[in-house]
Amino acid sequence: SPTLTARHLHARYGGFTALDGVDLDVPPGEVTAIVGPNGAGKSTLFHCLAGTHRPSRGQVLLGGRDVTRLAAHARTRLGIGRTFQQLAVFPSLTVAENVQVGAEQARVRDPGAVERALRLLGLDGPVRASPAAGLPTGTLRRVELARALAGSPRVLLLDEPAAGLDTAEVTALTRVLKALAADGTGLLVVEHDLDLVADLADVVHVMTAGRIVASGPPGSVLDTL
Ligand code: ADP
Ligand code: ADP
């Protein structure tokens, strides 16, 4: 898998500078985490990497393509998968149908991709046939992640993946994400839960006021916060 690379990203809302020159690599086979206080620019950076916020300057490159210039379907087909901070499943579709959408959007034709994603997230039991509406948050987060995985992403961007999960669910999530990284996927996680970051991340970037102010393995970086 290629590295997702942000170069000299700047982003503005009117006159307000939300990103002030961010350089970042999301390499394959690693979990990269972004932490920092509210308002630091984490969500804006996430949206630039996901291609849903056009930076005012700079590039986001994957395999030689600038993803900030691509339409959503092109980014998905290029191999960028994501989840959402506000859960975004289709409530009237079943769990399995939601995951199928992920394969279709990415034009993944391997019929096994959906089943593998369901199995990896423990959604291959009876719950697969349940409409998503009304399922607990932890299950919906798993559905979202399975939908992203069904698209066989090379880079997976996760916005607060542990929000609303209980301890057991966080443990299970950690195991799944580590397995994906070990398989060669590049993972980027924006996460408030620093214990999870310490468990999960290979590299942590600390953001403050639109800049990355510290980077390194969690053991060295998180101790300074
Ligand atoms: P974080 O995710 O670290 O909390 P954000 O990227 O959401 O940071 O926001 C960075 C800064 O940009 C904050 O001061 C926020 O209020 C501001 N901001 C974010 N989105 C908008 C917007 N759509 N319009 C104006 N200001 C925004
Ligand atoms: P998130 O971290 O999901 O962006 P927020 O509560 O920070 O959650 O923001 C929710 C929405 O409001 C986002 O779309 C964000 O861009 C927008 N937003 C955040 N701060 C501001 C702001 N100061 N002015 C206008 N919109 C904002």
Residue 53 Cα to ligand 2 midpoint, Å, equals 12
Residue 53 CB–ligand 1 contact under 6 Å: no
Residue 117 Cα to ligand 1 midpoint, Å, equals 33
- Mean pLDDT computed over 21-30: 97
User: What share of the chain in percent tops pLDDT 90?
Assistant: 84
Give the pLDDT confidence score for residue 218 in this predicted structure.
Answer: 96
Here the ipTM equals 0.72
Res. 73: pLDDT tops 90? no
| Residue 141 burial (C-beta neighbours within 10 Å; 0-12, 13-18, 19+) | buried
Residue 158 Cα to ligand 1 midpoint, Å, equals 18
Q: Which ligand is nearest the CA of 44, by number?
A: 1
Res. 86: pLDDT tops 90? no
- Mean pLDDT computed over 163-173: 91
Res. 211: pLDDT tops 90? yes
Residue 132 CB–ligand 1 contact under 6 Å: no
Res. 224: pLDDT tops 90? no
Atom 6 of ligand 1, nearest CA residue: 41
Q: How many C-beta atoms surround the C-beta of residue 225 within 10 A?
A: 11
Residue 43 CB–ligand 2 contact under 6 Å: yes
Mean pLDDT of the chain: 94
* CA 170-174-177 angle, 5° bins: 135
Res. 97: pLDDT tops 90? yes
